[in-house]
């Protein structure tokens, strides 16, 4: 087959399964509110709240078949961060200090989202085309998907470590370093968003 065909695929990272559309919302849609915590507090819960986030990536690719070989080329990748509202819970939804601490976890997800967007953009620009060639379309797409999934898994792991460090260092929002961490989050987001805007 000569000529290029455009296809699209969607994958999820940072959480198992796909939540219903009405129970998720983008992290960058606004600050967390009490309405974002729809889950029930687990009987064995140790803390006062938990914010569950998810990174979702959607990519589009082109493919061409020449001489029995299929080449798949990444056309675009979009990464977004979501709050899983049905899996997020809060014993004290009216506590503004606790809400600010939980916003920190949402901001960590947004930071990882921005980092992933930057890394993927740099990869596509540096290589002047992100392609995989295989004996079939399915095999080529699977290989391309595996490369992208590996990148996303690295950001997943980094986000998990950042969440743990944030809770540990701030004593789950009760310690004196809570304000410092939130300032770092804000500065990091500002820096990453500026980098993305500058490279469009």
Q: What is the 3-state secondary structure (H, E, C) of the chain?
A: CCCCEEEEEEEEECCCCCCCHHHEEEHHHCCCCHHHCCCCCCCCCCCCEECCEEEEEEEEEEEEEECCEEEEEEEEEEEEEEEEHHHCEECCCCCHHHHHHHHHHHHHHHHHHHHHHHHHHHHHHHHCCCEEEECCHHHHHHHHHHHHHHHHHHHHHHHHHHHHHHHHHHCCCCCCCHHHHHHHHHHHHHHHHHHHHHCC
pTM of this prediction?
A: 0.87
The pLDDT mean for the chain works out to 88
Higher pLDDT, 136 or 17: 136
Q: Which residues contact 169 (CB under 8 A, 6 or more apart)?
A: 175, 177, 181
- Span 111-132, average pLDDT: 88
**Mean pLDDT on 6-25:** 52
Local confidence band at 120 (pLDDT 50, 70, 90 cut-offs):
very high
Calculate mean pLDDT across residues 95-117.
97
**CA 171, CA 48: separation in Å to the nearest integer?**
12
Q: Residue range 156-173: average pLDDT?
A: 95
Locate the domains of the chain by residue range.
5-198
Tokens of 52: 């569950």
Tally the C-alpha atoms within 13 A of residue 173's C-alpha that lie toward its C-beta: 16
User: Phi first, then psi: what are they for 191, rounded to 5°?
Assistant: -65, -45
């Amino acid at each position: 087959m000569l000529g290029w065909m455009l296809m699209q695929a969607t994958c999820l990272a940072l959480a198992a399964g796909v939540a219903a559309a009405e129970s998720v919302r983008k992290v960058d849609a606004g600050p967390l509110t009490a309405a974002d915590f729809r889950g029930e507090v687990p009987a064995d819960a140790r803390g006062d709240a938990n914010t569950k986030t998810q990174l979702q990536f959607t990519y589009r690719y082109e493919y061409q078949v020449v001489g029995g070989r299929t080449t798949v080329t990444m056309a675009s990748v979009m990464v977004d961060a979501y709050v899983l509202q049905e899996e997020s819970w809060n014993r004290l939804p009216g506590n503004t200090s606790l809400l600010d601490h939980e916003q920190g976890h949402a901001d960590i997800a947004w930071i990882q989202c921005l980092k992933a967007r930057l890394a993927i953009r740099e990869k596509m620009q540096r290589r002047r085309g992100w392609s995989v060639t295989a004996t079939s379309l399915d095999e080529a797409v699977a290989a391309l998907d595996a490369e992208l999934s590996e990148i996303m898994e690295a950001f997943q792991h980094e986000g998990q470590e950042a969440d743990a460090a944030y809770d540990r260092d701030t004593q789950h929002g009760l310690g004196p370093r809570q304000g410092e961490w939130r300032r770092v989050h804000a500065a990091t987001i500002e820096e990453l968003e500026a980098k993305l805007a500058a490279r469009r």
